[in-house]
Structure 1
């Protein structure tokens, strides 16, 4: 039997939360929900901005999640209502879903999941659903709140119509359908949301998608700290510029190695074709690229194409007007970060003396690379990482797309309370605005379970 998302009883410890959602649903729609769908957020321990380049990443699901209280309807309507009054209600017909790529709203992500499921199942009409949504994943914080919405909506649509897809099919489909809103991610968020297992991190590999349990050191805890700088990757082109820079760097490397470069778009694909190691690819990057930014004219000259041809082979819709590209920096980050993921997994597997120190060093080196080479950090986030390291973290780094959002720190279990107090004092209490957000912004977490359906 396919490895499908489980259908479970509501955990006793979560009953009060589900009862509140149920009551709100009854007040809103005048009937009981049929079921609940849940999808978790995630924290990426290491492997940032490399999934869309084809390389493995190492995330874990967190306890924070998105839950839909849902009932199916036969009129083909999709109705979203959020428990948080800041987020407005939305209704549309399941056969007429439009997702604008400007001014993203919270329900656009849910619509991605519905639209993706419809197209995957090759349906033009289907049963709709009414739902009340509650989310505990901090928004725009690098913990995958948007992908949790996408995954939860896809799972809800599947359940509403009695369809059956494996976790892998759902993850693949959800990774693709987030492109409807204009972000070109690689699939990590969706894969861990469906494939996560309580108590373990996962090595997520791509092409084909597969996951492997990674046992983390038992005497450490991972602490998440939110910089409180929101970063909505769909609202700017920063994310997609990095995707395009990686694509162009891949194509120039391919051409310099006498390959048919136009169809090659990912660093991992190129490495596979060249039959080289990561160290050898790092060497090729150092020998091929200069450190100064490349102009579009220079890139066209190297690839021997016109600007129009470059637009069709390498650029994306919202990067057509970009004129400067940092190719050495992006390529160097990706290949070195891919190497750090391999070393992190190997270090966990060996579990030898010095394991936690080595893992911490890899995490901190990852942050330095994201800050200096990929330029996806933020001054407040850099400051937070430094405070975490000074407060006793073995390693600390940004997690998620960056440009704000959260840091993840590895801390000895015996040091956690002291660590939390120091970070609270040095980062959150130094700002009047941040001091009101401590409870939801600074917390330890353990590897959580993946997406599931819960019976009423």
Structure 2
């Protein structure tokens, strides 16, 4: 067990008001005051999309939008879970410890909201000794992260559930361990993602983006240009990555690409689950890996039968070695996916380098960062094929409205676009983008823009909020 370092301060007025509403809701349902609150932020990824599960570094930042959880122990052997938003039905589970044995990926039409919370509880209970676990839990959840939009609402909910469970059990874990356990826990829903969302949720820092590296997990501050402002704009197309096979198919395509490159270069493909692994085995640069992809992978689709032939294995063995849990397609694009990953990883490295150049004037910095973001979007659209026509239009309109660059952020197939501008131009930019994309569409004119287009800056990661004297009159924020 590792000790957690605490940094205490008072919540700001806006957060304090939300906590009091949450506490009031908790009291009205359970007739008692919550023991404490948990806050876990959403995130926006500046650059480095669809490469964390391939082992490569990413550059996200935590945002103001978050998931809040109020929690207390219960004398009843059950988990009671309530969401303030009544569009999400309440949930009860008899037998708290039995959650460890739940299957949570059985609904292929898309998981219910409470299953994400159960993922976090399940992940926590798997590492916490039995003697630390209370008989039951009472919980109320409230979030303002736009759902199914690429800002990590689902991962924030999983991470919040895990942090709340860990803390109420008085079990000590490091931030890195909680991020790692949360990432594993979210796979229980059926999504084979990487660890970016959970890492930035726990390791986020106010005033700084983060370069997140994996194996082992670690994070480094990325100081953004002082005048840079990032604007997030919703395409108004929702997409839940656990509701279909698009996301998992991309993960599998990257795995197949790594294994075929390994096989063709006389490397034991069975021990090469990620593209970064084959790069390390070959001892090549990212630029050199692009040439290797061109030489080793074909433009056309691969079938499973072809992949088995190349790897000299059976379909049954392939399913085990390559972790082919479920597949709903018989054709896979490998060359395009691998090219995106290696080139995107190189863009992340360049993004960090530009941010660190002290002798470059800020205007040039912003232009170069924007150019990298736009190239990232073009790759996601053309090579990774995870964009959407409305996202592409929004990116174009953002650049026409004065952004230095713009790209989709999150898994794709819907959700948000992130654009880079300056503090002096941000208000004019946002109004111009509203006119160009939202106001000209009759069905969008009456949109509530508070969670549709907004500027953001790096915010703090997950924290625990304690109340004094068993009341919510005096609160203090305890960052972990």
Q: Which bin holds the TM-score, normalised by the shorter protein?
A: over 0.9
Q: Does 2:445 correspond to 1:438?
A: no
CA contact (8 A) 1:8 1:453 kept: no
Corresponding residue SS for 2:146: coil
Take 1:432 and 1:94, find their aligned partners in 2: how far apart are those partners?
49
- Structure-to-structure mapping, 1:7-22, within 5 angstroms: 8-22=9-23
- Per the TM alignment, residue 434 of structure 1 is displaced from its structure 2 partner at its CA by 3.1
Shift of the 106–434 alpha-carbon distance from structure 1 to 2, 3 Å rule, reads: farther
- 1:448 alignment partner in structure 2: 459
Question: Match of 2:417, SS?
Answer: strand
Structure 2 gap ranges (5+): 468-480
Deviation at 1:301, TM superposition (A): 1.3
- Residue 349 of structure 1 corresponds to which residue in structure 2? 356
Q: 2: CA distance between counterparts of 1:218 and 1:318? A: 46
Residue in 2 aligned with 1:324?
Answer: 331
Q: 1:121 to 1:443 in 2, by over 3 A?
A: same
Aligned to 2:166: 158
The alpha-carbon deviation at position 4 of structure 1 amounts to 4.4
The equivalent of 1:77 in structure 2 is 78
Cα distance in structure 2, aligned partners of 1:453 and 1:95: 23
Which stretches in structure 1 are left out of the alignment for 5+ residues?
none
Q: Distance in 2 between matches of 1:154 and 1:74?
A: 20
Pair 1:403-2:413 in alignment:
yes
Following superposition, the deviation at residue 156 of structure 1 comes to 0.5
**1:153-189, Cα deviation, whole Å (9 max, x unpaired):** 0010011111111100000000111110000111000
1:38 aligns with 2:49: no
Deviation at 1:424, TM superposition (A): 1.1
CA distance in structure 2 between the partners assigned to 1:430 and 1:85 by the alignment = 32
Would you say the 8 A contact 2:132–2:170 is kept in 1? no
Corresponding residue of 2:87: 86
Judge conservation of contact 2:337–2:383 (CA < 8 Å) in 1: yes
1:187 paired with 2:195, answer yes
TM normalised by structure 2 equals 0.92
Assess if the C-alpha contact under 8 Å between 1:294 and 1:327 holds in 2: yes
Partner of 1:303: 311
Q: CA deviation at 1:124?
A: 8.7
| Residues 167/339 of structure 1: CA separation in 2 closer, same or farther (3 Å cut) | same
Output one character per residue of 1:137-160: Cα deviation in whole Å (capped at 9) or x when no partner. 000000000000001000100111
Which residue number in structure 2 is paired with residue 109 of structure 1?
A: 116
Aligned with 2:98: secondary structure? coil
In the alignment, the residues of structure 2 paired with residue 48 and residue 118 of structure 1 have an alpha-carbon distance, to the nearest angstrom, of 31
1:338 corresponds in structure 2 to 345
Q: Contact 1:37–1:69 (CA<8 Å) still a contact in 2?
A: yes
Please tell me whether residue 282 in structure 1 is matched to residue 290 in structure 2.
yes
Aligned length, in residue pairs: 455
8 Å contact kept, 1:9–1:455: no
Give the distance between the partners of 2:68 and 2:174, measured in 1 at CA. 20
Q: Is the 8 A contact 2:4 2:172 kept in 1?
A: no
Do the aligned partners of 2:39 and 2:66 also contact (CA within 8 Å) in 1? yes
Q: Which residue matches 1:147? A: 155
**Pair 1:232 & 2:233 matched:** no
